Amino acid sequence: MAVAEEITEAGAADAPRRGNVWRRRLLTHLAIFLAIVTLWETGVRAGWLDELFFPRPTDILVSFWRIYISQGNVWYHLYISLGLVLAGFVGGSLLGVGLGAIVGFNPLMRRFLQPYVIVLEATPRIAVAPLLIAILGFGAQSKISIIVLVCFFAPFINTLSGVVNVSPEKLELFRSLGVSKLQTLRKLVLPDAVPVIMAGERLAMTAALTGVLVAEFIQRDVGIGSLILTYTRNLNMASAFACIFTLTIIGFAIFKGMEIADKRIAFWNHEEGRERLSARRRRAFEAKGRA
């Protein structure tokens, strides 16, 4: 009890100091960032940097205003691109996890598919894009199939290795206890495989965003990728940069979103998730005890 009090006291005394350090660091970060931006702005204004290639930060801000508010044209392209990303990601990851599980549970299939998997791994998969466009024609279906293709691989490999890399000792223990196959899957294979699969899904999501951009660069019709391409061709670099920073924000949101999904789905792999689960179980146990 006394120890606990000491700790909380020390923590309380520490808190404002830590807050100060944190605030000072944030200020330094902001100062450096502002210095870079100012240097860039003055560099362009003074003519050291070519404005055609390095647009001024203020111009980029104005472009943000234009593409989001006064013209508002970026929304439509974002809507198209993100819809494709979502569709391709869902399709690709379902296919990847499904096939990965089938191949993982089937040793014969695994042996015969391995050489093809190695070859596929070495091919820059995005390179199939022109081929798919030629086969399926211009339009959404070829774009979605490109995204499905680039999304497919990481979940496939990770599901495969998650399913295959079950500890043999644990498996033996399960067998000797006469556990049914379904229970082995639920209690042994899935708890170990799901975190690995989720890591694959994260890679797939990043790949999906790359895939949609490449598909749009080649087709050049609608979507954020073709918007960037058009702006660059017109040497409207400020707007192109505004689109790229938009993608940074989207990329960040996706990154955070996948992290949250990982914590929710593979909760036993994270400290808070485990604590939440044990707290719930304790509550349930106590409720049963009272009743």
Partner 1 sequence: MTETTMDRVTALGLRALPHLVLFAALLALWELAVAIGLIESIMIPRPSRIGAAIWELYVTQRTIYFHFAITMTEAVVGFLIGCGVAVTLAVSSSLSETFKRYVAPYAVVLNVTPGIALTPIIIAWFGYGMGSKIALGAVICFFPIFVNTLTGLLKVDEEREELFHSLGTTPFQLFMKLRVPGALPLLFAGMKIGLTTALIGAVVAEFTQATDGVGVLMSRFSFQLNMASSIASLLSMTVIGLILYYSMELLDDRIVFWRREARMTATSRARARAWRRVMGD
Q: Which residues would be at the binding site for partner 1 (CB under 8 A)?
A: 25, 28-29, 32, 53, 112, 115, 119, 121-124, 126-131, 133-135, 206, 209-210, 213-214, 217-218, 225, 228-229, 231-233, 235, 237, 240-241, 243-244, 247-248, 251-252, 254-255
**Structure tokens given for 191:** 């708890």
The token duo for 6 is 């000491």
Q: And the tokens for 255? A: 């990154």
Backbone angles phi, psi at 264, to 5 degrees: -75, -45
- Name the residue nearer to partner 1 (CB basis): 101 or 208: 208
193 near 162, Cβ under 8 Å? yes
Task: Based on DSSP, count helices (H) and strands (E) in the chain, helices before strands.
Answer: 12, 0
Please tell me the distance from the alpha carbon of residue 247 to that of residue 208, in angstroms, as a whole number.
13
Helices 74-104 and 107-122 meet at what angle, rounded to 10? Answer: 140
Residue 33 C-beta: closest distance to partner 1, Å = 8
Is 29 or 45 the residue whose CB approaches partner 1 more closely? 29
**Quick one: how far is CA 138 from the chain centroid?**
27
Nearer to partner 1, 53 or 181 (CB): 53
What's the closest the beta carbon of residue 234 comes to partner 1, in angstroms? 10
Q: How far is the CB of 279 from partner 1 (least distance, A)?
A: 32
Least Å from the CB of residue 291 to partner 1: 49
Kindly tell me which of 184 and 206 has the beta carbon lying closer to partner 1: 206
Q: Do residues 216 and 224 touch, judged by C-beta distance below 8 A?
A: yes
Closer to partner 1 at the Cβ: 14 or 50? 50
Three-class SS state of 56: coil
Contact (Cβ atoms closer than 8 angstroms) between residue 120 and residue 58? no
What minimum distance in Å lies between the beta carbon of 179 and partner 1? 33
Residue closer to partner 1 (CB basis): 198 or 258: 258
What type of residue sits at position 277? Answer: L
15-23: list long-range contacts, CB under 8 Å, 24+ apart. Answer: none
Task: Show the tokens assigned to 157.
Answer: 């490999």
Q: Nearest approach, Cβ of 155 to partner 1 (angstroms)? A: 17
CB of 251 to partner 1, least distance (A): 4
Q: Tell me, what amino acid is at 4? A: A
Are 81 and 224 contacting, i.e. CB atoms less than 8 angstroms apart?
A: yes
Q: How far is the CB of 25 from partner 1 (least distance, A)?
A: 7
The answer to whether residues 151 and 207 touch, using CB atoms and an 8 Å cutoff, is yes
**Residue 34 or residue 134: which is nearer to partner 1 going by CB?**
134
Closer to partner 1 by Cβ: residue 175 or 233: 233
Secondary structure element (H or E) that encloses residue 24, with its range: helix 2-46
